[in-house]
């Protein structure tokens, strides 16, 4: 069984599972795994390859493996008890064996969190496969230097392992990420991800339907607001680091509507940007619906350089274009009884495959207090890098609240609902123990599963200490006076 | 249990735990293969239960737990039903351990 698994791993065979078949296939795989477990004591066949095939993100895959192994272990223990093989004395020794076993993973996790598990699991994840040889390379000492979970550095790491261009990459490592010559950046991407690109192209060719093609044509029309960019920069907002390269910024995103990996740019191309209507309702003088182009043309566009700190301990720096959220609140005319604004992302499973996954609480919802929304930092984004914002970054309208973790900055907004009830956000609904309403950046308050003390600067192979409120305390700290009893930080 | 065996068990579990911590799987695969050198496979399997269980529970905790359970419940149910089924009472784990443990190194 394990040999079979090894062969599968080395031959780069890639499976994928159609969503409609998944529940039945899950049951079948579970039954086979159960039989194999009872017969051999090995409980990763065929469940582990199956979990790799259903398109889970790295963290999700690790967790799914843990979950399935947990259940299998319980089942295995039950059979051992039935057989009389699990004697009390041995079970006692089994508890004692826990200590060294925990020492191992804790040590590995603590010191290499973000490198090794991710790295090797990317190897395990079908979409990331390159060749059997790459796995061997990845375990080499060279990978220890790199401390990141991110794709750009992964890519660079692969270059290091390509003997032909090793000399070039020595420079890349020591230079700043944004100083990579354009020429090199392009070739990295194309050359090193050619297999993934070919696979994606093939998959796209297979899945083309007239509907998608039509949607594609509509969204390929020139953006009607293109003439408004680049907007003039508001020099008040400065950075302590270079702007993240646009290519990196648009190839490393969380956008679960289009899939749970970081590489969702091609899937997000299915997003239809026009017509796009924004609904403003709830506790307002009068509810209204407004077309995105009308809204954008009513607003004073400007460019702001903002840091963006993800809850996953990485960060970017982005030249957003847009308008202050306060202008939209003025337009909405909320009643004095309104305390919060609740925002919703589009909901259209026909273009966003992630939204077909009913175990997520779609649509994506986020919320701010009215005081937060009218703070000068709260920014509604319509553009980035001097042009209309890309689909994968949340076109045509997204939020940027840089003093909060990135998941608060909701994408592709269709609705602003003014209310006196605190909205329950998407991630709060999914896992309130880890993600709360306020979610202000604070290096002193760790995430339950990792430290928030430092952040990886995506594309720069560098970690920096994280600042309280992501360095925007001067603008926003006053918002939270008197709220010390709230869970402000996660 | 001699002190050599105790030391061996400790070293084996540190190694197996390290593998598990790095790639998210492999604790029983590594431990089974190596423990079988110093004890019978059935003893080894029994010794594995608690560490294997707790490291997996730990690994299963996280933000995706609820959606994963909702998504994968048919598989989890299938594992339980099949592994505990009395229809499989005639299983013969003892003879199957050895080929399993030999191939351990490939997958770990």
CB-based contact, A2 to chain B, within 8 Å: yes
CB-based contact, A103 to chain B, within 8 Å: yes
Residue where one domain finishes, among candidates A34, A51, A86: A86
Query: What is the DSSP pairing of strand A277-282 with strand A454-457?
Result: unpaired
Residue (of A385, A382, A387) closest to A398 by Cα position: A382
Rounded to the nearest angstrom, the minimum Cα separation between A300 and chain B is 39
Per-residue DSSP letter, B62: S
The span from the CA of B6 to the CA of B47, in Å, is: 12
ipTM exceeding 0.95, yes/no: no
CB-based contact, A77 to chain B, within 8 Å: yes
Q: Say whether pLDDT at B35 is over 60.
A: yes
The span from the CA of A66 to the CA of A342, in Å, is: 35
Task: Establish if A470 belongs to a structural domain.
Answer: yes
CB-based contact, A116 to chain B, within 8 Å: yes
Task: Establish if A391 belongs to a structural domain.
Answer: yes
pLDDT in tens, A373-386: 999 999 999 999 99
Task: Establish if A285 belongs to a structural domain.
Answer: yes
Chain A, nearest residue to B39 by Cα: A90
Query: How is chain B split into domains, by residue range?
Result: 3-83+94-107
Q: Which helix (H) or strand (E) holds B22?
A: helix B3-23
The span from the CA of B97 to the CA of B28, in Å, is: 12
| Percentage of the residues of chain A whose pLDDT score is greater than 90 | 46
Mean pLDDT of chain A: 77
pLDDT score of A207: 41
CB-based contact, A89 to chain B, within 8 Å: no
**Beta carbons of B54 and A98 less than 8 Å apart:** yes
Q: How far is CA A161 from CA A53, A115, A116, A440, in A?
A: 26, 16, 16, 39
User: Which residues of chain B neighbour A32 with C-beta distances below 8 Å?
Assistant: 78, 82
Rounded to the nearest angstrom, the minimum Cα separation between B5 and chain A is 12
pTM of the model: 0.53
Tokens 């050359």 — which residue?
A191
Task: Establish if A43 belongs to a structural domain.
Answer: yes
Q: Closest CB to A77: pick one of B24, B49, B78.
A: B49
pLDDT score of A90: 57
Task: Establish if A347 belongs to a structural domain.
Answer: yes
Q: Say whether pLDDT at B108 is over 60.
A: no
pLDDT score of B80: 87
Higher pLDDT, B62 or A195: B62
Higher pLDDT, B104 or A407: A407
The span from the CA of A119 to the CA of A97, in Å, is: 28
Task: Establish if A380 belongs to a structural domain.
Answer: yes
pLDDT score of A228: 94
Residue where one domain finishes, among candidates A36, A53, A86: A86
User: Which residues of chain A neighbour B103 with C-beta distances below 8 Å?
Assistant: 1-3, 6
Q: How far is CA A314 from CA A203, A247, A286, B48, in A?
A: 30, 16, 41, 37
pLDDT score of A186: 38
Higher pLDDT, A443 or B69: A443
Residues 406..435 of A with a Cβ closer than 8 Å to B: which?
Answer: 427, 430-431, 434-435
Rounded to the nearest angstrom, the minimum Cα separation between B76 and chain A is 6
User: Which residues of chain A neighbour B54 with C-beta distances below 8 Å?
Assistant: 98, 102
Q: Closest CB to B47: pick one of A82, A90, A106.
A: A90
Three-class DSSP labels, chain A: CHHHHHHHHHCCCCCCCCHHHHHHHHHHHHHHHHHHHHHHCCCCCCHHHHHHHCCCCHHHHHHHHHHHHHHHHHHHHHHHHHHCCCCHHHHHHHHHHHHHHHHHHHHHHHHHCCCHHHHHHHHHCHHHCCCHHHHHHHCCHHHHHCCCCCHHHHHHHHHHCCHHHHHHHHHHHHCCHHHCCHHHHHHHHHHHCHHHHHHHHHHHHHHCCHHHHHHHHHHHCCCCCHHHCCCCECCCCCCCCCCCCHHHHCCCCCCHHHCCCCCCHHHHCCCCCCCCEEEEEECECCCEEEEHHHHHHHCCCEEEEEEEECCCCEEEEEEEEEEEHHHHHHHHCECCCCCEEEEEECCCCCCCHHHHCCCCCCCCEEEEEHHHHCCCCCEEEEEECCEECCHHHCCCCEEECCCECHHHCCCCEEEEEEECCCCCCHHHHHCCCCCCCCCECCCCCCECCECCCEEEECCCCEEEECCHHHHCHHHHHHHHCCCCCCCCCC
pLDDT score of A39: 76
pLDDT score of A193: 41
CA atoms within 13 A on the CB side of B30: 24
CA angle A476, A431, A440 (to 5 degrees): 10
Q: How many domains does chain A have?
A: 2
User: Which residues of chain A neighbour B41 with C-beta distances below 8 Å?
Assistant: 41
- CATH classification at residue A303: 3.90.420.10
Task: Establish if A291 belongs to a structural domain.
Answer: yes
The span from the CA of B17 to the CA of B10, in Å, is: 10
Sites in chain A below the pLDDT cut of 50 = 104-219
Task: Establish if A64 belongs to a structural domain.
Answer: yes
Chain A, nearest residue to B48 by Cα: A94
The span from the CA of B19 to the CA of B26, in Å, is: 6
CB-based contact, A86 to chain B, within 8 Å: yes
What is the count of residue pairs from A and B with beta carbons less than 8 Å apart? 302
Residue where one domain finishes, among candidates A61, A86, A111: A86
The span from the CA of A415 to the CA of A290, in Å, is: 10
Domain encompassing residue A41:
2-86
User: Which residues of chain B neighbour A6 with C-beta distances below 8 Å?
Assistant: 103, 106-107
Pair of tokens at residue A15: 């499976």
CB of A317 within 8 A of CB of A242?
Answer: yes
**Beta carbons of A112 and B50 less than 8 Å apart:** no
């Amino acid at each position: 069984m394990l040999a079979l698994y090894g062969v599968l791993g080395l031959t780069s065979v890639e499976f994928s599972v159609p969503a409609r078949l998944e529940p039945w296939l899950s049951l079948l795989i579970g039954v086979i795994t159960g039989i194999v477990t009872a017969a051999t004591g090995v409980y990763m066949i065929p469940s582990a390859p199956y979990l790799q095939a259903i398109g889970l993100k790295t963290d999700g895959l690790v967790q799914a493996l843990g979950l399935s192994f947990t259940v299998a272990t319980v089942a295995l223990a039950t059979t051992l008890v039935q057989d009389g093989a699990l004697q009390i004395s041995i079970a006692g020794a089994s508890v004692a064996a826990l200590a060294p076993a925990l020492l191992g993973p804790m040590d590995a996790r603590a010191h290499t969190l973000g490198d090794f598990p991710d790295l090797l699991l990317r190897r395990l994840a079908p979409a990331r496969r390159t060749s059997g040889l790459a796995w061997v390379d990845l375990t080499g000492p060279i990978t220890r230097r790199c401390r990141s979970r991110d794709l750009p550095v992964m890519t660079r790491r692969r270059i290091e392992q390509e003997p032909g261009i090793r000399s070039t990459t020595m420079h890349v490592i020591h230079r700043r990420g944004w100083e990579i010559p354009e020429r090199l950046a392009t070739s990295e991407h194309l050359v090193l991800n050619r297999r993934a690109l070919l696979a994606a192209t093939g998959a796209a060719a297979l899945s083309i339907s007239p509907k998608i093609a039509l949607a594609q044509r509509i969204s390929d029309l020139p953006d009607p607001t293109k003439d408004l960019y680049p907007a003039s920069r508001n020099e008040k907002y400065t950075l302590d680091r270079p702007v993240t390269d646009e290519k990196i910024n648009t190839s490393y995103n969380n956008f679960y509507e289009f899939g749970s990996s970081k590489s969702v740019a091609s899937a997000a191309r299915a997003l239809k940007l026009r017509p796009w209507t924004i609904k403003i309702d709830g506790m307002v003088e009068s509810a209204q619906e407004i077309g995105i182009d009308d809204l954008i043309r009513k607003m004073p566009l400007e460019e702001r350089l903002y840091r963006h700190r993800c809850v996953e301990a990485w960060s970017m720096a982005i030249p957003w274009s847009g308008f202050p959220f306060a202008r939209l609140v003025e337009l909405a005319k909320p009643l004095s009884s309104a305390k919060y604004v609740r925002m919703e992302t589009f909901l259209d499973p026909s273009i966003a495959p992630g939204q077909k996954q009913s175990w997520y609480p779609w649509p994506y919802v986020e919320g701010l207090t009215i005081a937060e929304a009218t703070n000068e930092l709260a920014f509604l984004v319509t553009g980035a890098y001097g042009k209309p914002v890309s689909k994968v970054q949340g076109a045509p309208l997204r939020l940027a609240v840089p003093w909060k973790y990135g998941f608060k900055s909701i994408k592709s907004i269709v609705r602003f609902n003014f209310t006196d009830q605190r909205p329950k956000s998407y991630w709060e609904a999914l896992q309130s123990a880890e993600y709360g309403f306020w979610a202000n950046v604070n290096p002193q308050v760790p995430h339950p599963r990792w430290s928030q003390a430092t952040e990886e600067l995506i594309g720069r192979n560098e970690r920096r200490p994280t600042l309280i409120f992501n360095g925007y305390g001067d603008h926003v700290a006053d918002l939270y006076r008197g709220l010390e009893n709230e869970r402000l930080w996660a | 249990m001699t002190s050599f065996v105790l030391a061996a068990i400790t070293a084996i579990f540190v190694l197996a735990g390290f593998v598990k911590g790095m790639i998210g799987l492999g604790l029983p695969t590594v431990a089974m293969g190596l423990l079988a050198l110093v004890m019978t496979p059935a003893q080894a399997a029994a010794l594995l239960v608690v560490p294997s269980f707790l490291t997996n529970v730990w690994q299963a905790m996280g933000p995706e737990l609820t959606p994963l359970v909702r998504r994968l419940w048919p598989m989890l149910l299938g594992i339980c039903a099949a592994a505990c089924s009395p229809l499989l009472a005639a299983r013969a784990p003892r003879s199957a351990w050895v080929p399993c443990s030999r191939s351990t190194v490939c997958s770990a």
